[in-house]
Amino acid sequence: ISVKPLKVQNWILPELPGFITDILISIDDRFLYFINWLQGDIRQYNIEDPKNPVLVGQVYVGGLVQKGSPVVAVTEDGKTWQSDVPEIQGHRLRGGPNMIQLSLDGKRLYATNSLFSTWDRQIYPELAEKGSHMLQIDVDTMKGGLKINPNFFIDFGAEPDGPCMAHEMRYPGGDCTSDIWI
């Protein structure tokens, strides 16, 4: 599995690399998930045949190439594009996804979006200014597929001493994707 860089305009480099900041495998070993912080997507691969992973789910939840950003992607034929900016409960998503945690049943994938505060300020200044958030991505565990859950949104920018930056989350007691204590 590799993430191809995007040819872009109005960024510090001519290409925007894939920048994977978190990766996990479902407890049943069927799916691999990863976060692509700069390009702004979360991907789901079926890995039942580990030598031939298949992309079965992808959802954009931010990133640098989104409408309203100066950064635009350029296709091979010279056309430009930007992804739509998701909005949940009246909140425009900021930054790019950073860390993920999968529920024990594999049906809910949670994502936060703060990597390091110094990088957040440099690459996603609006994120540093307004705070980060946590999303829930609904997972199709039969065929594969990812969808933003519009009913779940935690805005860490609204914290009393905020805005706050949420880096990651963990389940108490552990599971296949978090620290396990014996």
Domain span including residue 75: 6-158
pTM higher than 0.85 for the full model? yes
* 110 within 8 A of 137, measured Cβ to Cβ: yes
pLDDT at 180 over 50: no
The answer to whether position 94 is within a domain reads yes
pLDDT band at residue 164, thresholds of 50, 70 and 90?
Answer: confident
**Bridge partners of 80?**
74
Total count of domains within the chain: 1
- Chain centre to alpha carbon of residue 57: 12
Please report, to the nearest 10 degrees, the dihedral formed by the alpha carbons of residues 64, 92, 135, 17 taken in order.
Answer: 0
Q: Supply the pLDDT for residue 121.
A: 86
pLDDT by residue (tens digit) across 137-154?
Answer: 999 999 999 999 999 999
**Bridge partners of 59?**
42
Amino acid at 149: N
The answer to whether position 177 is within a domain reads no
CA-nearest of 53, 10, 60 to 39 is: 60
pLDDT by residue (tens digit) across 55-101?
Answer: 999 999 999 999 989 999 999 999 999 999 889 999 999 999 999 99
